[in-house]
């Protein structure tokens, strides 16, 4: 029996903007595009995250630790994979902020960047003998989110970004603590202490696309600002 050789695919390199790790990747294949399309049809965040994990893991040959790599790196990497797989342009439309006219607009993925407003010390001292060491969110953080109100979700997200808690000479790491224990610890902070932690949460890097265009109907100048992966999913 003759074995049919599989088509070869090109391989590219890039340096992840946050962790600065150099990785190789390939475009996604038809079988992986189907996973993305199915996830897009369900409009489910859980399915979208699962699809992104599948595509990124496959296209980087399993060399990227999805549960430890910063989320902004994974989102940027996915967008670059999408650019090499389908093209650098995403067709869509925007609404003029002046006249309300809907305008056809093409997103150029080459303009997507990872932006961090400012850098904040991840070691947050909340008391004389207590330091909370933070880390940037990863894809795994969404696994811990529950169907609760926004305040509870915010605490869970913050807890997911806690790497370790040092009390005196004792270090408690996220690998040995339960998510519920970290949430409970945060709930026992004062408002001022939590604000110190929130300062770090407010400044972590995000995938960002900015551009300007002139409305063809009224001539007004418009500014486009997009954050997150949702605008570039498929």
Residue 178 sits in the same domain as residue 138: yes
Is 61 inside a domain boundary?
Answer: yes
Task: Give 39's pLDDT tier (boundaries 50, 70, 90).
Answer: confident
Residue 137 sits in the same domain as residue 224: no
Residue 89 sits in the same domain as residue 133: no
Residue 49 sits in the same domain as residue 129: no
Residue 102 sits in the same domain as residue 129: no
How many helices and strands, by DSSP H and E, does the chain display?
Answer: 6, 11
Is 92 inside a domain boundary?
Answer: yes
Residue 107 sits in the same domain as residue 32: yes
Domain span at 18: 12-113+207-232
Bridge partner residues of 23 (DSSP) = 14
| pTM, full prediction | 0.87
Q: How many CB atoms lie within 10 A of CB 23?
A: 19
Q: What confidence tens digit (pLDDT) does each residue in 82-118 have?
A: 999 998 988 888 999 999 999 999 999 999 999 998 8
Helices 150-160 and 191-201, interaxial angle, to 10°? 70
Question: Under 8 Å CB-to-CB from 58, ≥6 apart: which residues?
Answer: 28, 32
Separation between Cα atoms, residue 104 and residue 113, nearest integer Å? 22
Average the pLDDT over 75-79 and give the result.
96
Q: What confidence tens digit (pLDDT) does each residue in 192-220 have?
A: 999 999 999 999 999 999 999 999 999 99
Percent of the chain scored above 70 by pLDDT?
Answer: 94
73, 53, 69: which is closest to 114 by C-alpha?
73
Is 6 inside a domain boundary?
Answer: no
Separation between Cα atoms, residue 177 and residue 159, nearest integer Å? 11
Residue 160 sits in the same domain as residue 183: yes
Is 5 inside a domain boundary?
Answer: no
Domain total for the chain? 2
Residue 217 sits in the same domain as residue 197: no
CB 115 within 8 A of CB 208: yes
Residue 17 sits in the same domain as residue 100: yes
Residue 131 sits in the same domain as residue 152: yes
Q: Residue 25's pLDDT is what?
A: 97
Q: What confidence tens digit (pLDDT) does each residue in 43-71 have?
A: 777 888 889 999 999 999 999 999 999 99
Residue 127 sits in the same domain as residue 157: yes
Is 19 inside a domain boundary?
Answer: yes
């Amino acid at each position: 029996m003759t074995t049919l050789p599989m088509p070869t695919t090109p391989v590219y390199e890039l340096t992840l903007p946050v962790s600065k790790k150099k990785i190789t990747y390939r475009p996604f294949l038809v079988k992986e595009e189907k996973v993305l399309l199915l996830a897009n049809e369900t409009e489910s965040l859980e399915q979208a995250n699962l699809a992104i994990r599948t595509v990124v893991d496959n296209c980087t040959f399993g060399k990227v630790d999805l549960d430890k790599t910063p989320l902004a790196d994974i989102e940027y990497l996915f967008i670059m994979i999408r650019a090499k797989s389908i093209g650098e342009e995403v067709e869509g439309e925007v609404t003029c902020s002046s006249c309300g006219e809907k305008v056809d607009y093409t997103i150029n993925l080459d303009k997507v960047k990872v932006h961090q407003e400012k850098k904040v010390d991840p070691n947050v001292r909340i008391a004389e003998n207590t330091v909370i060491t933070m880390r940037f969110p990863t894809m795994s953080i969404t696994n811990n989110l529950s169907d609760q109100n926004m305040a509870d979700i915010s605490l869970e997200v913050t807890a997911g970004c806690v790497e370790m808690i040092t009390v005196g000479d004792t270090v408690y790491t996220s690998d040995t603590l339960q998510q519920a224990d970290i949430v409970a610890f945060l709930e026992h902070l004062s408002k001022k202490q939590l604000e110190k932690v929130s300062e770090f949460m407010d400044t972590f890097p995000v995938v960002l696309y900015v551009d300007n265009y002139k409305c063809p109907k009224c001539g007004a100048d418009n500014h486009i600002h997009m954050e997150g992966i949702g605008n570039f999913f498929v």
